[in-house]
Amino acid sequence: MFKKKEPFTLSENEVIKSLDSSFKGLTSKEAKSRLNKFGLNELKRKKKISPILIFLKQFNNILIWILIGAVIISFILNEKIDGIVILVILIFNATFGFIQEYKAEKAIEALKKLTALQAKVIRNKETIIIPTYEIVPGDILILSEGDKVPADARIIECHSLETIESSLTGESLPILKSIKILKPDTSLADRINMVYSGTIITQGKAKAIVIATGMRTEIGKIASMLEKIEEPSTPLQKKLKTLGNYLVIGTGIATSFVFVLGLIQGEKAIEMLLTSVALAVAAIPESLPAVVTISLALAIQRLIKKNSLIRKLPSIETLGSTTIICTDKTGTLTMNKMTVMKIYTNRNISLLGEKNGNSNPLLFEIGALCNDSELGRKNDIGDPTEIALLLSSKKYGINKLDLEKKYPRLNEIPFSSERKYMITHHKIKGKDLIYIKGAPDIILKKCTKMYYNGRIVPLNKKERDRINEVLEDFSDSALRVLGFAYKEVKTDYKDIEDLIFVGLQGMRDPPRKEVKDAIKKCKIAGIKVVMITGDYKNTAVAIGKEIGIVGKVITGQELDQIKDLSKIIDKISIYARVNPQHKLKIIDALKKKGHIVAMTGDGVNDAPALKKADIGIAMSITGTDVSKEASDMILVDDNFATIVNSIEEGRGVFNNLRKFVGFLLSCNIGEVLIIFFASLFGWPLPLIAIQILWINLVTDGPPAIALGLDPIDSNIMQQNPRDPKENIINKPFAIRMISLSILVTVITLFLFKLFLPMGVMKAQTIAFTTLVLLEMVVVYVVRGHYTDKILSNKYLIGTVILSIILQSIIIYTPLSIYFKVVPLTLMEWMYIISATTLLAILGVIIDKIVDKMSLKHARQKFLQSR
């Protein structure tokens, strides 16, 4: 849009005029028009979702290639029926896989929009919050500490603004910005009146007008030159791949033996080749990594409905292993709706709104003017503490907008976690005054006088002691306290000593109703909850007692004195008066003790801790862009209970994946053993290639997928956290799996041998059908008797019924010719049903034994990890 002059060479007014905008921002209509013209403010993906590629990907597997080779060999040897049936099954399997994976891809793409960062802009003369991808050239951005700049923009108003532009220039030091007009030859790194997409605001605040979005930004130009990096496999996928490698070796040996033995016994080479290949496909869960990704993507969708956005797939697995949650207090454990309850001014404590003649208008004037928040017509915008101050001022008839028109802000020093105070500069009644609000202990140290009934009096020891008593009283009442002061200055106010103390405002942020039950749930689940807050010790303890967090309490000052925190870390439940930097020390100590740590945060300084934690959890409402980008998970509602619900979901996902894998392996090992021992005994093959493929891809597939949708076990949060190093198939589960495989093998071979005198085809039909029904029993045994109701998974019921119907169709329709089966009589069905019932009874016994072993195994693992 700047053909003649670059925006950094123009004044603020010239830039605004050239973009056909104004200081009051764009209208909604104009913004919509520009969005259509310039497109979404996002970096374009090089690789779009291609349905064709996803479908072809279903065949990108060495074992599938072997099977396709078997189809070709079948046609060459004139075994056309076998070849056609195998090909149809392969296409069916690929279609099913395509549908599931395509849904998952679309779900993940939708998730990226949900997790998009947000930005403050001025539209229709009002400050509103919109997704960053809706920003257009001409928008007026409102930037503050912790924001990630959403687009390239020219600064039009600036207050102590500093940015980190290392993502663009490589310079790691903060850059102080200004609105100064620059020369045309100014290099990118020296354009101090510009902010660029992807860079971070580390201090101060500003207004800036957007000059470029999306691929037109500086970072977009770089992105267009780069190829998109493929996302790495999740840890769970790697575990499954390792498991598959072991199975490949074992199956290779078994199938080679079966093939050679079959040839020795006079079987057809093509039949043995097809049987061996089908056996290999049946034994190896080659699609598991893809199905795991699908299952995790579906879990992400469920978590979205529970107000939790998972940014990284592996985080779901890690969530289930969490042993400790380190949570901020304000907004997470509490409602983040601050209300001023008590005030102290003119040497008097009073309730807000109390008509006692002791209220001091100056206290509320400072609270309104030294404030960056706004009371909106629909939604208030800004920090909850500042909003509470505006509401308290409003009760005394003081309106921020009216005051700002009368006493506009000339300059400011923004609040920072290091300073713990904020300063604004105003011209009031011909005098230059600075208004200050912040931590009362910090403010009090800088005060030498106090304002009392319109007079300035000395702040002696007696007055200080009285104020400290009030502070303690407020803290005991679980009130968050802010101190207020002022001072007359000339032009330079770097020296902020010798302030005049005005008063205190104590506010309360009540605990969320659901938090107490959520913390109780964590204790039962073996998860410790630790509160980390910048509030005073007494305030933290009061809130802790109310919600159920009790134990040793230490302050940030005490924390600094401890050399090896890990020695006492397990005894500490509350950290008060701490800085974000302390969180790293806490995480290090917890990890040293072997904990899996979930850590919440919302500020810029929280980002390192969020990255270092096993699960970094950012706040959606109060969180900065930097904290969100550093996190693994974002709380949509900033609610602690959402973390607990997510952990429960994480545990459920892993349990379902374990059931899924256990079911498939139990069935596949059983199939391998049936063919192996039949060949070893010199019997005819109980199952031919087409039948094995049918079982593996059609009758087993749908129930296996349904297991991934199993409801979470009701007692899952009554168990201790799982060791994250534990394999998917642990010792108890392996015993259940092998026991079921052996039982399935013995029962199937017994019935096959029993009916063999009636003909090979009849015996094969019996074995084939028996195996299908036995595997429908296995799916429920693997699922576990501890699930609340046997009918609770409607998807599983439907897929089991579907599998039985499909089996009946190929037995009693002309399809029987292709599968080489014959109709079964009622008496033969009775044998099969009796065998199925026997497995169900034995399965329940095995399940009870293994369930006891699992509890003992989990307890031992948990104790070892401690």
| Residues tagged active-site | 328
412 DSSP β-pair partners: 424
Q: By three-state DSSP, how is residue 225 classified?
A: coil
| Cβ atoms 603, 580 nearer than 8 A | yes
Tell me the Cα Rg of the chain. 34
What does the block give as tokens for 547?
């919600």
What does the block give as tokens for 430?
């011909």
| Cβ atoms 311, 115 nearer than 8 A | yes
In whole angstroms, give the CA distance from residue 11 to residue 6.
11
In whole angstroms, give the CA distance from residue 484 to residue 535.
17
Sign of CA dihedral 64, 68, 73, 79: positive
In whole angstroms, give the CA distance from residue 304 to residue 311.
11
In whole angstroms, give the CA distance from residue 571 to residue 154.
51
- 3-state helix, strand and coil shares in percent for the chain, rounded to the nearest 5: 50, 15, 30
| Cβ atoms 234, 292 nearer than 8 A | yes
User: Minimal CA–CA distance to 672: which of 252, 246, 90?
Assistant: 252
DSSP 9: G
| Cβ atoms 370, 499 nearer than 8 A | no
| Cβ atoms 714, 802 nearer than 8 A | no
Q: How far is CA 357 from the centre of its chain?
A: 52
For 96, 252, 410, 794, 796, the CA distances from 801, given in Å and listed in that order, are 18, 33, 75, 11, 9
In three-state form (DSSP H/G/I as H, E/B as E, the rest C), the secondary structure along 676-701 is: HHHHHHCCCCCCCHHHHHHHHHHHCH
In whole angstroms, give the CA distance from residue 394 to residue 246.
71
- What is the distance in angstroms between the CA of the first residue and the CA of the last residue of the chain? 62
| Cβ atoms 204, 159 nearer than 8 A | yes
Element (H, E) at 441: helix 440-445
In whole angstroms, give the CA distance from residue 203 to residue 129.
20
Q: By three-state DSSP, how is residue 412 classified?
A: strand
Count the neighbouring beta carbons within 10 Å of the beta carbon of residue 545. Answer: 12
Taken as a whole, the chain contains a residue count of 866
In whole angstroms, give the CA distance from residue 532 to residue 540.
9
Element (H, E) at 262: helix 235-264
In whole angstroms, give the CA distance from residue 235 to residue 313.
10
What does the block give as tokens for 512?
């969320």
In whole angstroms, give the CA distance from residue 547 to residue 573.
12
What does the block give as tokens for 377?
């017509």
